[in-house]
């Protein structure tokens, strides 16, 4: 059971008029972690898209536990929650400098062929890589 | 039971490298609808923030049913899902030109005092306004 | 000499950690005004892109005169600055509620064929429409 | 004469409906490089803002030379262009994997006191640090 770690520091434009990370930007950072992860396991999204495969999100959700402020150094711990026949879910735990829980998010992706827009069985190579990061129940 | 309608057209920068609306931007548009709604019922967020009241999101989620593309004219139908003692949830139904369901989202907000960061009972004036838009079970 | 007017209200996420409109978002709003303008004169960008025509930006600039804050109602007055053989420039004047000058921006676009990436002479139909909005020297 | 180097890879959401980096996002990346640079020389923006100092942008401009696509690894080479009494300009050269020039940008910042919104003489400590990165004429 592995975890993929992704680090970033919140920037001036991440913060909104209320002085905290704008919630939609948390999803943007989660997706940046997901892109880095997919590239790391050999499925960089730009290459995947050029091969006419799409992995659109069909669901996402997030819980915001503590305010995230400008200049905060954040670690996202990424794991795979579930692998279905043609879909998989990714979970993201956002922690701060003191390892305190700040937020969590989940995204569910379905494997589609661009031409017929039908969902396809996940290829074994992707399933195998994702399985290494499967979270314990 | 009222519904608040918010309209927008997807722009060049809403669309990502996969050719569809980037999922985090759906949340941005939902929040723009929420801001317009709050202003409409007399609680414009800039005024609320100046009065040292915060309404941070503690949860959000979305389901993506159909791809949304560049130039699509979208209607968000906004309703209130639930009103608690110090929190409330907003639901957003995204529909296209042919009234087809494209996506739905939900955000949950908690009423906080900026000074002590404690949750407070929703003021009656806000509760009354939100109640008018309460969705049928 | 016509002017195209575009209106928007700054939102929670437009504002950054310094309490003012993040400068890159001014360009985003300018581009939204440009998209609305192009659609209005019969060249909506989604259609243009489907016809394998590209109008990439080759230059942009902006001057920021006054801070723009959360909830400000902004008017963008759009005009055409210059029409060349294969390019044109758009200027944007941002004004506030009291008609005070807040910022200005300029974008220069070149007319390209997507297939060979060569610049092309602007079609007369586009040139004619743009000419109606040409700013006085 | 030093140069500050900042690296990033373009993400799914950086790319727009025309298949290239949306121009306003180039400014966002330039600003991220600027924030990393300022932090590196001891003036992290979150700290600066907490000390009631503002460094608002009064001008920005950019030239876009080559299309930037999804997954491109970009290096921003940052230098200081000019240091005035109360302002300074930063230049950014965007280069790709083969060291090819992709874009350049410039931002001009003025040193303000938050309380009276008057421009102030740059403190010597900041001037000294910026001077180390002054570009050759």
Domains in chain D, CATH or no CATH each? 4-131 (3.10.129.10)
Q: What is the residue whose two structure tokens read 């996002």?
A: D25
pLDDT at B87 over 80: yes
Q: What is the rounded distance in angstroms from the CA atom of residue C66 to the CA atom of residue C26?
A: 12
What confidence category does residue D26 fall into, taking pLDDT thresholds of 50, 70 and 90? Answer: very high
| B88-96 LR contacts (CB < 8 Å, sep 24+) | B88/B122, B88/B130, B89/B59, B90/B34, B90/B37, B91/B135, B92/B30, B92/B33, B92/B34, B94/B26, B94/B29, B94/B68, B96/B66, B96/B68, B96/B72
Q: Bridge-partner residues for C90, per DSSP?
A: C80, C107
Closest CA–CA distance from residue D29 to any residue of chain B (Å):
15
Residue pair A63/B58 in contact by the 8 Å Cβ criterion: yes
Determine how many CB atoms are found less than 10 A away from the CB of residue B21.
25
What's the pLDDT score for residue A79? Answer: 98
Closest CA–CA distance from residue A44 to any residue of chain C (Å):
25
pLDDT at A13 over 80: yes
DSSP SS3 for C28? helix
Considering only CB atoms, which chain B residues are within 8 Å of D16? 12-13, 15-16
Per-window interface: D 65-94 vs B, CB < 8 A:
70
Instruction: Return all residues near A128 (Cβ < 8 A) that are at least 6 apart.
Output: none
Determine how many CB atoms are found less than 10 A away from the CB of residue D21.
25
**Which H or E run includes D90?**
strand D87-95
Give the closest residue to D106 by CA, choosing from C23, A10, C13: C23
pLDDT 10s digits, A59-112: 999 999 999 999 999 999 999 999 999 999 999 999 999 999 999 999 999 999
Instruction: Return all residues near B79 (Cβ < 8 A) that are at least 6 apart.
Output: B1, B3, B4, B90, B91, B133, B134, B135
Taking residues B66-86, what's their average pLDDT? 97
Residue pair A99/A45 in contact by the 8 Å Cβ criterion: no
D23 vs C64: CB contact, 8 Å cut-off? Answer: no
pLDDT at A137 over 80: no
Determine how many CB atoms are found less than 10 A away from the CB of residue D132.
12
Share of chain D above pLDDT 90, in %: 91
| DSSP codes joined into one string, A68-119 | --TT-EEEEEEEEEEE-SSEEEEEEEEE-TT--EEEEEEEEEE-EETTT--B
Residues A54, A56, A58: CA angle, nearest 5 degrees:
150
DSSP SS3 for B30? helix
D17 vs C49: CB contact, 8 Å cut-off? Answer: yes
CA distances C53 to B3, B70, C116, D69, Å, are 40, 15, 11, 17
Instruction: Return all residues near D136 (Cβ < 8 A) that are at least 6 apart.
Output: D1
Determine how many CB atoms are found less than 10 A away from the CB of residue D113.
12
**Which H or E run includes C82?**
strand C73-83
A46 touches chain D (CB under 8 A): yes
Q: Bridge-partner residues for B95, per DSSP?
A: B75, B101
D13 vs B19: CB contact, 8 Å cut-off? Answer: no
Q: What is the rounded distance in angstroms from the CA atom of residue A126 to the CA atom of residue C78?
A: 49
| Residue from C9, C11, C12, C16 whose CB has the most chain A CBs within 10 Å, to mutate | C16
C35 vs B49: CB contact, 8 Å cut-off? Answer: no
pLDDT 10s digits, B110-133: 999 888 878 999 999 999 999 999
Considering only CB atoms, which chain B residues are within 8 Å of A60? 23, 61-62, 64
A15 vs C16: CB contact, 8 Å cut-off? Answer: yes
Give the closest residue to B93 by CA, choosing from B70, B65, B55: B65
Share of chain A above pLDDT 70, in %: 99
What's the pLDDT score for residue D136? Answer: 85
pLDDT at B137 over 80: no
Q: Bridge-partner residues for A110, per DSSP?
A: A87
Q: What is the DSSP letter of D68?
A: -
ipTM above 0.90 for this complex = yes
The pTM (predicted TM-score) of the whole model is 0.97
pLDDT 10s digits, B88-109: 999 999 999 999 999 999 999 9
What confidence category does residue B44 fall into, taking pLDDT thresholds of 50, 70 and 90? Answer: very high
Nearest to A12 among D31, D47, D69 (CB): D31
Tokens representing residue B124 in the block: 């009656």
Q: What is the rounded distance in angstroms from the CA atom of residue B63 to the CA atom of residue B101?
A: 11
Residue pair D30/D92 in contact by the 8 Å Cβ criterion: yes
What's the pLDDT score for residue A46? Answer: 96
Residue C44: burial class (beta carbons within 10 Å; 0-12, 13-18, 19+): middle
DSSP SS3 for D127? helix
Q: Compute the CA torsion angle C93, A22, B32, D57 (nearest 10 deg).
A: 0
pLDDT at B52 over 90: no
pLDDT 10s digits, D46-63: 999 998 888 999 999 999
Considering only CB atoms, which chain A residues are within 8 Å of B112? none
A17 vs C12: CB contact, 8 Å cut-off? Answer: yes
Q: Average model confidence (pLDDT) for chain B?
A: 95
Q: What is the pLDDT along chain C (137 residues), one digit of tens a residue?
A: 799 999 999 999 999 999 999 999 999 999 999 999 999 999 999 999 998 888 999 999 999 999 999 999 999 999 999 999 999 999 999 999 999 999 999 999 999 988 887 899 999 999 999 999 999 87
């Amino acid at each position: 059971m592995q975890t993929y770690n992704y680090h970033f520091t919140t920037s001036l434009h991440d913060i909104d008029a209320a002085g905290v990370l704008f919630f939609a930007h948390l999803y943007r950072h989660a997706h940046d972690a997901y892109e880095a992860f997919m590239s790391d396991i050999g499925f960089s999204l730009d290459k995947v898209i050029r091969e006419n495969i799409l992995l659109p999100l069909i669901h996402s959700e997030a819980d915001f536990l503590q305010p995230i402020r400008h200049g905060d150094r954040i670690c996202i711990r990424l794991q795979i929650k579930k692998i279905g026949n043609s879909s998989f879910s990714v979970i993201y735990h956002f922690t701060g400098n003191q390892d305190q829980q700040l937020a969590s998010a989940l995204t569910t992706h379905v494997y589609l062929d661009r031409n017929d827009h039908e969902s396809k069985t996940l290829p074994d190579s992707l399933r195998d890589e994702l399985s290494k990061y499967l979270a314990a129940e």
